[in-house]
Chains A and B, each alone.
Chain A
Amino acid sequence: AQSVAQPEDQVNVAEGNPLTVKCTYSVSGNPYLFWYVQYPNRGLQFLLKYITGDNLVKGSYGFEAEFNKSQTSFHLKKPSALVSDSALYFCAVDYKLSFGAGTTVTVRA
């Protein structure tokens, strides 16, 4: 069965600092990996996906993610976090989207 794990319930960073949200996956075969963000009282918004090719994927709002096959990871990163990045972030695998439990990101001014 396809699954992802987000080991951190919460991530707190100061504005302007790098932001990393961790995700590890377990799949049989080649993984399709996604990141979504959810703001309060809103649906999920697509950030980026990895299907094949370059291990570094660039997405919306300055986010990027690095696919690491040996570590079965797909961590989300942003070089300089903004207060407006505060939200709930979900990693997902497979095109039927098996989601992780989510990581709450808080960026303090």
Chain B
Amino acid sequence: EAGVAQSPRYKIIEKRQSVAFWCNPISGHATLYWYQQILGQGPKLLIQFQNNGVVDDSQLPKDRFSAERLKGVDSTLKIQPAKLEDSAVYLCASSLGGGGPDTQYFGPGTRLTVL
């Protein structure tokens, strides 16, 4: 079974530029999550989708971050404009989404460096 796919694996941009990350979850997983992991910290949930609807985006900085999952499968996370403090690893995870505490399966992440 293929795992969660993410691209690109690495990205370097200058502040005020825009960037987009892509995630393809495990086939059949209804729930998709985006996390931000700053160096030395645990991952922090940015947004959770159930199929193509947003369940929780309370910690997403909406003035600069946006995410979509239009067809309920793959998802894109965008930052525009980027700030230095956005340097982090962005992790995508998916779960079956049957309700309750599903196990989340993580992709390899995208390491973003903002100069």
Q: Which residues of A contact B (CB under 8 A)?
A: 32, 34, 36, 41-46, 49, 51, 90, 92, 94-102
Which of B45, B101, B109 is A43 in contact with, Cβ under 8 Å?
B109
In contact, B4 and A102 (Cβ under 8 angstroms): no
A-chain residues with CB within 8 Å of residue B35 when the two chains form the complex:
97
Tell me, rounded to whole Å, the shortest Cβ–Cβ distance linking A36 to chain B.
8
Q: Which residues of B contact A (CB under 8 A)?
A: 4, 33, 35, 40-45, 48, 56, 91, 93, 100-109
Tell me, rounded to whole Å, the shortest Cβ–Cβ distance linking B87 to chain A.
16
Give the complex CA separation of A97 and B109 in angstroms.
17
In contact, A45 and B106 (Cβ under 8 angstroms): yes
In contact, A95 and B101 (Cβ under 8 angstroms): yes
In contact, B104 and A97 (Cβ under 8 angstroms): yes
